C-alpha cells in the first residue's frame, strides 16, 4: 500500500508530499517529490525491531537547506566532472563549479518532481518525473528523467531510472542515500563486501587518474567482508586524500542484463544486512568523511563517519576518459539503470 502525507513547506511556501510505501512485513520506504528523495527506509533487526537506517531530515525544509544530498536523486551527473567541463563532437560544454574546481552531482535533489502512484496488486510503486531543460547547469539537451521506487514482499526497495534527450548529452543518475544499519553510533564496525577487483585512484580533488588499480594487498580489498574501521586510517595516500573511503569501485559483472550483487553491508550488533544489486558498472563507497555535525534530523546529529553510502553509478569524469564506459546519451535512445536495496537480518 501507499499512504500520502504532507511533508512541510519550502521557503517559498510550496508544500511537499511524502509517499509511504509499506509491505506486509511492516517494512516502509518514505519518498518525497522534492528531489525524488528517499527520506526513510525502516527495516527490522534480528529480533524484529524496526528502525530507520537512513540519514535525513524531519521535513522538506531540512532537505532544502541541506548540503549532503541525503537520499536524493542526483544528476545530471552523479559524482565529479574535472574542471567542470567536457566536450562532445568537438563542442566544449562548461558546467557550474560547485566542488572546488569541479562539477559535482548537479541540482536534481533540489528540484520538484511530479509523482504518480503506479502500484500493482503485488507491490506499492511510485513514479517520479523531472524535465531538465537545455543548458541546465550548462548541459546540452532537454533531458526527461524518471525514477520509480517499488517495495517488494522480500524487503527489496527497487529503483528504476530512465532518461531520454532531444540532443546528444551525458547523463549519470543515482540515489544518494546514507545508511547506518544500527541506526545509532558510528559505522566503523559495519562489515562491508564489495564485488570489485579494481578501484579508481583519484587525484587531490578526487578526480580519477584514469588508472584501474587492483585492490589486492590494499585497504580497498573488500572481496571478503571487512569492518569499515579496520583499515580506514591506514597509511595510504588514497585514504588520506579522501579522509577515508570515497572511491569508485569497478564492479565485477557476469555480463547478465539484470541487476547483480555489487555490495553487502552487515551490522553485527543488530543483525541487519543491506545488499545492493545493480546494472551499473561502478559503486561509490563513501564513509561520511565530511559529516561535520552541522546537519540534524530524525533526532540525530550527523557527525564524522556515522553513515556510509553505496552509490551505484557510472564512473566519475567519464566524459573526459575515453577508456571509461560511456555516459553519452543520444536522441532516440533510452538510458536505463536498475538498483535494488535488499534488507534482511540474521
Q: pLDDT digits over 146-158, tens only?
A: 999 999 999 999 9
pLDDT category of residue 257 using cuts at 50, 70 and 90 = confident
* Range of weakest confidence among 1-10, 161-170, 247-256: 247-256
Residues 6+ apart with CB under 8 A from 228: 187, 188, 189, 190, 191, 192, 245, 287, 305, 308
Q: How far apart are CA 176 and CA 268, in angstroms?
A: 24
Name the band, by pLDDT with cuts 50, 70 and 90, for residue 259: very high
Residue 268's contacts (CB-CB under 8 Å, 6 or more residues apart) are 189, 191
Query: Alpha-carbon distance 70 to 109, whole Å?
Result: 9
Q: Select which of 311, 314, 321, 338 is catalytic.
A: 311
At 237, give phi and psi (nearest 5°): -60, -40
Contact call for residues 172 and 86 (beta carbons, < 8 A)? no
Check pLDDT > 80 for residue 256: no
Domains of the chain with bracketed CATH = 2-345 (2.70.98.10)
pLDDT tens sequence across 192-239: 999 999 999 999 999 999 999 999 999 999 999 999 999 999 999 999
For the cut 70, the answer to whether the pLDDT of residue 255 exceeds it is no
Residue 284 pLDDT greater than 70, yes or no: yes
* Average pLDDT over every residue of 21-33: 97
**In the predicted model, is pLDDT for residue 1 greater than 90?**
no
Is residue 93 a contact partner of residue 86, using CB atoms and an 8 Å limit? yes
Distance CA 105, CA 137 (A): 10
CB distance 76 to 106 below 8 Å: yes
Percent of the chain residues topping a pLDDT of 70: 99
Residue 15 has a pLDDT of: 98
Among candidate residues 30, 103, 105, 176, the one labeled active-site is: 176
Q: What's the pLDDT band for 341 if we cut at 50, 70, 90?
A: very high
What value does the CA radius of gyration of the chain take, rounded to a whole number of Å? 19
CA 326, 328, 333, 334 dihedral sign is positive
Helix, strand, coil: what percent of the chain each, to 5?
10, 45, 45
For residue 88, count other CB atoms closer than 10 A to its CB.
Answer: 15
Question: Between residues 187 and 258, which one has the greater pLDDT?
Answer: 187
pLDDT tens for residues 38-59? 999 999 999 999 999 999 999 9
Q: What is the pTM of this model?
A: 0.98
Examine the pLDDT at 289 and tell me if it is beyond 90: yes
CB 125, CB 149: distance < 8 Å: yes
Measure the CA angle with vertex 343, ends 338 and 22; round to 5°: 85
Spacing of C-alpha 121 from chain mean position: 28
- pLDDT at position 253 is 82
60 and 34 Cβ atoms separated by less than 8 Å: yes
User: Is residue 127's pLDDT more than 80?
Assistant: yes
pLDDT at 254: 62
Question: How confident is the model over 47-94, as pLDDT tens digits?
Answer: 999 999 999 999 999 999 999 999 999 999 999 999 999 999 999 999
Euclidean distance between CA atoms 273 and 112, whole angstroms: 32
Angle CA(120)–CA(126)–CA(129) in degrees, nearest 5? 135
With 0-12 / 13-18 / 19 or more C-beta atoms within 10 angstroms meaning exposed / middle / buried, residue 27 is buried
Q: Are 159 and 41 in contact (CB under 8 A)?
A: no
Mean pLDDT (whole number) for 134-141: 98
pLDDT of res. 224 = 98
Please check whether residue 148 is in contact with residue 160, taking contact to mean a CB–CB distance below 8 angstroms: yes
- Rounded to an integer, what distance in angstroms lies between the CA atom of residue 95 and that of residue 140? 10
| 311 counts as catalytic | yes
Amino acid at each position: 500500500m501507499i499512504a500520502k502525507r504532507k511533508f512541510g513547506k519550502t521557503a517559498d511556501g510550496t508544500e511537499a508530499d511524502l509517499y509511504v510505501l509499506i509491505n506486509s512485513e511492516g517494512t516502509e520506504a518514505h519518498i518525497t517529490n522534492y528531489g525524488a528523495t528517499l527520506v526513510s527506509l525502516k527495516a527490522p533487526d534480528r529480533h524484529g525491531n524496526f528502525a530507520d537506517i537512513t540519514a535525513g531530515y524531519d521535513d522538506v525544509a531540512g532537505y532544502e537547506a541541506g548540503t549532503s544530498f541525503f537520499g536524493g536523486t542526483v544528476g545530471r551527473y552523479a559524482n565529479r566532472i574535472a574542471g567542470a567541463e567536457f566536450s562532445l563532437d568537438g563542442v566544449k560544454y562548461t558546467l557550474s563549479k560547485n566542488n572546488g574546481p569541479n562539477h559535482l552531482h548537479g541540482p536534481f535533489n533540489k528540484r520538484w518532481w511530479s509523482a504518480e502512484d503506479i502500484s500493482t496488486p503485488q507491490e506499492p510503486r511510485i513514479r517520479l518525473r523531472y524535465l531538465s531543460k537545455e543548458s541546465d547547469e550548462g548541459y546540452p539537451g532537454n533531458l526527461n528523467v524518471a525514477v520509480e521506487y517499488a517495495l517488494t514482499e522480500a524487503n527489496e526497495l527497487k529503483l528504476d531510472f530512465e532518461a531520454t534527450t532531444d540532443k546528444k548529452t551525458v547523463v549519470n543518475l543515482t540515489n544518494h542515500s546514507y545508511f547506518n544499519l544500527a541506526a545509532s553510533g558510528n559505522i566503523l564496525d559495519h562489515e562491508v563486501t564489495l564485488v570489485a577487483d579494481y578501484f579508481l585512484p583519484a587525484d587531490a580533488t578526487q578526480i580519477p587518474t584514469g588508472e584501474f588499480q587492483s585492490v589486492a594487498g590494499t585497504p580497498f580489498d573488500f572481496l571478503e567482508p571487512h569492518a569499515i574501521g579496520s583499515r580506514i586510517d591506514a597509511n595510504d595516500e588514497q585514504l588520506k586524500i579522501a579522509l577515508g573511503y570515497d572511491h569508485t569501485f569497478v564492479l565485477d559483472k557476469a555480463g547478465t542484463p539484470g541487476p547483480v550483487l555489487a555490495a553487502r553491508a552487515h551490522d553485527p550488533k543488530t543483525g541487519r544486512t543491506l545488499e545492493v544489486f545493480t546494472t551499473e558498472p561502478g559503486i561509490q563507497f563513501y564513509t561520511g568523511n565530511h559529516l561535520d555535525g552541522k546537519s540534524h534530523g530524525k533526532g540525530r546529529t550527523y557527525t564524522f563517519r556515522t553513515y556510509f553510502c553505496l552509490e551505484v553509478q557510472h564512473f566519475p569524469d567519464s566524459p573526459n576518459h575515453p577508456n571509461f564506459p560511456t555516459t553519452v546519451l543520444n536522441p532516440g535512445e533510452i538510458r536505463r539503470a536498475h538498483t535494488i536495496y535488499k534488507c534482511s537480518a540474521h
